[in-house]
Amino acid sequence: MGSVKDLEVLEEPTDKKAGLGRFVFSDRYSVFDWGEMPDHIKNKGRSLCLIGAWFFERLKGMGIKSHYKGLVENGQVRSINNVGSPPDTLEVKLLRVLKPRLNKGHYDYSLYKTQTGNFLIPLEVIYRNSLPPSSSVFKRLNNNSLKLKDIGLNKIPEPGQKLENPLLDVSTKLEEIDRYMDWKEAQNISGLTDQELSRIKEITLIINQLITDEVQQLGLQHEDGKIEFGMDENRQIVLVDVLGTPDECRFTYKGIPVSKEAARIFYRKTEWFKEVEEAKKKDKVNWKKRVSSPPPPLSSRLQELIPHLYQSFCNQITKKQWFNVPSLEEVMAGIDEALK
pTM of this structure: 0.90
Task: Write the single-letter amino acid at 245.
Answer: T
Q: Helix or strand or coil: residue 79?
A: coil
- Chain-centre distance for alpha carbon 145: 22
Q: What is the pLDDT of residue 237?
A: 98
165: number of Cβ within 10 Å: 9
- Please tell me the predicted confidence (pLDDT) of residue 18: 96
User: pLDDT at residue 1 above 60?
Assistant: no
Q: How far is CA 190 from CA 17, 108, 196, in A?
A: 20, 11, 11
Residues whose CB is less than 8 angstroms from the CB of residue 2 and which lie 6 or more positions away in sequence, other chains included: none
Q: Report pLDDT digits (tens) over 178-236.
A: 899 999 999 999 999 999 999 999 999 999 999 999 999 999 999 999 999 999 999 99
Beta bridge partners of 106: 103
Domains of the chain, first to last: 5-338 (3.30.470.20)
Cα dist from 52 to 32, 36, 180, 331, whole Å? 22, 21, 25, 21
pLDDT given at position 324: 97
pLDDT of 67 reads 98
- pLDDT of 112 > 70? The answer is yes
The reported pLDDT for the residue numbered 285 is 83
